[in-house]
Structure 1
Amino acid sequence: MCIGSGNCEFVAPRTFRIEDDGISRVVSDGKADGDDTVTRAIDECPAMAIRRAEP
């Protein structure tokens, strides 16, 4: 579902990275940027492609 807009990487660069294929990947456990920052990145995804996994 990722369209490679880069919003997630811009908001939470220690958690998300756009890879060479243009798709965003999680590069940490989601804690590196803090919960509020990760939540903001999720909310700003234009494709609504990011979901938070429940433990």
Structure 2
Amino acid sequence: MSQQPIIKEVIINAPISKVWKAITDKDQMREWYFDLAEFKPRVGFKFQFEGGTEDKK
């Protein structure tokens, strides 16, 4: 199985500083996306998350 990166491009109508915080701050990420055990905003950092139903939170 080939492992290709997932690339998504979007335009967000918000200040750069607010967007950067939303995608690099662990607490902010939990608010809009998912909870991570660990996250560091740097190239090559690997992380995992698990999806599921609401009762798996």
TM-score (norm 2): 0.26
Higher relative helix content: 2
Using CA pairs under 8 Å that are at least 6 residues apart, name the structure with larger relative contact order, 1 or 2: 1
Higher relative strand content: 1
